[in-house]
Amino acid sequence: MSEDNGVDKFIKETSILDEYSINWTQKLGAGISGPVRVCVKKASQERLALKILIDRPKARNEVRGNAVIARLLIVMEMMEGGELFHRISQHRHFTEKMASQVTKQISQALEHCHCLNLAHRDLKPENLLFKDNSLDAPVKLCDFGFAKIDQGDLMTPQFTPYYVAPQVLEAQRRHQKEKSGIIPTSPTPYTYNKSCDLWSLGVIIYVMLCGYPPFYSKHHSRTIPKDMRKKIMTGSFDFPEDEWSQISEMAKDVVRKLLKVKPEERLTIEGVLAHPWLNCTEALDNVLPSAQMMMDKAVVAGFQQAHAEQLANMRIQDLNISLKPLNSVNNPILRKRKLLGSKPNDSFFIHDPETGEDSNIALEKLRDVIAQCILPQAGLLTQTPLTEFQNCWCDFRQNILGIFPCLQERTRTRS
Q: Is 26 exposed, middle or buried (0-12, 13-18, 19+ CB in 10 A)?
A: exposed
Phi-psi region of 37 (alpha: psi -120 to 50; beta: other; left: phi over 0): beta
Would the CA dihedral through 311, 212, 292, 279 be positive or negative?
positive
Helix and strand element counts for the chain (H, E): 15, 13
Those residues whose C-beta lies under 8 Å from the C-beta of residue 311, and which sit 6 or more positions away, are 160, 161
Rounded alpha-carbon distances, angstroms, from residue 351 to 246, 264, 348? 71, 64, 10
- Asked if 229 contacts 169 with a C-beta cutoff of 8 angstroms, the reply is yes
Which of 8, 18, 122, 395 does the annotation list as catalytic? 122
Those residues whose C-beta lies under 8 Å from the C-beta of residue 331, and which sit 6 or more positions away, are none
- Catalytic residue status for 122: yes
CA distance 176 to 157: 10
Q: How far is CA 69 from the centre of its chain?
A: 23
CA distance 286 to 365: 64
The residues assigned a catalytic role are 122
